[in-house]
């Protein structure tokens, strides 16, 4: 008997925020932080690889909005993280 392979779908945890309805970005940030802490404390998750967060942007009435660049110009559909992680953490020194 061979080992069962864990597929990418099985190794991911999906957190559904759709039941919250239209919420402020600050409330979403708090909800994400709370759920990440729960993954860590309750489910013993220590590491993740390549996580993604999809945020449907709306106004306070739930109407979809397009995100524009700060100085004007084109629309933004993807941004890279603004979190800084020192490269020395990649090495076991």
Q: What is the pLDDT of residues 52-87, one digit of tens each?
A: 999 999 999 999 999 999 888 899 999 888 777 777
Domain count, the chain: 1
Query: What's the whole-model pTM score?
Result: 0.75
User: Helix/strand/coil (H, E, C) string of the chain?
Assistant: CCCCCCCCCCCCCCCCCHHHCCCCHHHHHHHHHHHHHHHHHCCCCCCCCCCCCCCCCECCCCCECCEECCCCCCEECCCCCCCCCCHHHHCCC
Instruction: Compute the distance between CA of residue 38 and CA of residue 44 in angstroms, rounded to an integer.
Output: 9
Q: Is residue 8 part of a domain?
A: no
Q: Which residue has the tokens 């759709």?
A: 18
Band of pLDDT at residue 6, cut at 50, 70 and 90: low
Q: Is residue 86 part of a domain?
A: yes
Q: Is residue 9 part of a domain?
A: no
């Amino acid at each position: 008997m061979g080992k069962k392979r864990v597929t990418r779908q099985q190794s991911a945890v999906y957190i559904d925020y759709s039941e919250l309805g239209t919420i402020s970005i600050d409330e979403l940030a708090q909800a994400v932080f709370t759920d990440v802490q729960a993954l860590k404390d309750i489910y013993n998750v220590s590491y993740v690889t390549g996580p993604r967060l999809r945020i449907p942007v709306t106004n306070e009435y739930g109407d979809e909005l397009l995100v524009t660049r700060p100085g004007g110009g084109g629309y933004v559909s993807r941004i890279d993280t603004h979190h800084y992680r020192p490269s020395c953490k990649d090495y076991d020194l």
